[in-house]
Amino acid sequence: MKKIAIFDIDFTITKKETLMEFFKYYIKKDKKSIKFLPRAIYCGIMYLLRFYDEKMVKEKFLKFIDGIGEEDLEKIVDSFYKERLNNLLYSDAIDMMKKLKAEGCDIYLISASPEFYINKFYNIKEVDRVIGTRFKFSDGRFVRQMDGFNCKGEEKVRRLKEVLEKENIDVDFKQSYMFSDSLSDKPLLDLVGKPYLINYKKNHDIDILRWK
């Protein structure tokens, strides 16, 4: 049976929220996109007031790349990873991946962030699988419409099990790990025998690790 080590992404292996970092990077590369800043602020307010759920927020927020060609998106995402995203990683997170990989674990990154840019984490040689929120493409162009559900909470467990079943992978969950900064990942934290909270600010029964 396989042992796996599951890592959330935002604020777990990265120091910042990656979708907002992508937006800021995109504006830096295309100054005209600053016109979408009021929309981003509005979406955040509507989410805080609970008028929008996370699915609606993401679909509306991503207006700034609506209709972009798949090849053009790939180019901006590639430079985003090299120039920004790669520099946001906690060194302790990478060290943990290396340690657990050497101990025989497969490394899974599972996040609510969009797959179209978190797939770049395959550049980390220890990473075996990246699972995130999927978005649609039509006629080779990005459509700001989710393909399925927001990959959060129970959906993370469902997506993980979908991959394991499809690839006929038998996992020993009692000997597996999960790392997250948030109790929104409790379904995955409860799934494994070795759960850890990262930089969590309150006391908790789950062991807390401080990563830098």
User: For the whole model, what pTM was predicted?
Assistant: 0.95
Q: 182 and 204 in contact (C-beta within 8 Å)?
A: no
Query: Helix count (H) and strand count (E) of the chain?
Result: 8, 8
> For the chain, what is the domain count?
1
CA distance 116 to 139: 16
| pLDDT for 132 beyond 90 | yes
205 exposed, middle or buried (CB, 10 Å; 0-12, 13-18, 19+)? exposed
**Orientation of helix 18-29 relative to helix 37-48, angle to 10°:** 160
Q: Binning pLDDT at 50, 70 and 90, where does residue 154 land?
A: very high
Worst-scoring range by mean pLDDT, 46-50, 71-75, 123-127? Answer: 46-50
| pLDDT for 104 beyond 90 | yes
Span 59-96, pLDDT tens digits: 999 999 999 999 999 999 999 999 999 999 999 999 99
Question: What pLDDT is attached to residue 24?
Answer: 95
Question: What pLDDT is attached to residue 42?
Answer: 86
Residue-number span of the structural domain to which 130 is assigned:
3-209
Q: Where residue 129 sits, what CATH number does that domain have?
A: 3.40.50.1000
In 3-state terms, what secondary structure has residue 206?
coil
> Once rounded to an integer, what is the mean pLDDT over residues 168-177?
97
CA distance 50 to 33: 26
CA distance 53 to 51: 7
Give every CB contact of residue 28 below 8 A, 6+ residues apart in sequence.
Answer: none
What are 149-152's contacts with CB under 8 Å, separation 24+?
149/55, 150/53, 150/54, 150/55, 150/58, 150/112, 151/110, 151/111, 151/112, 152/54, 152/112, 152/184
Q: Binning pLDDT at 50, 70 and 90, where does residue 11 land?
A: very high
Q: Binning pLDDT at 50, 70 and 90, where does residue 50 land?
A: confident
CA distance 142 to 58: 13
Instruction: Give me 153's structure tokens.
Output: 């909470």
**What are φ and ψ of residue 51, in 5° steps?**
-80, -30
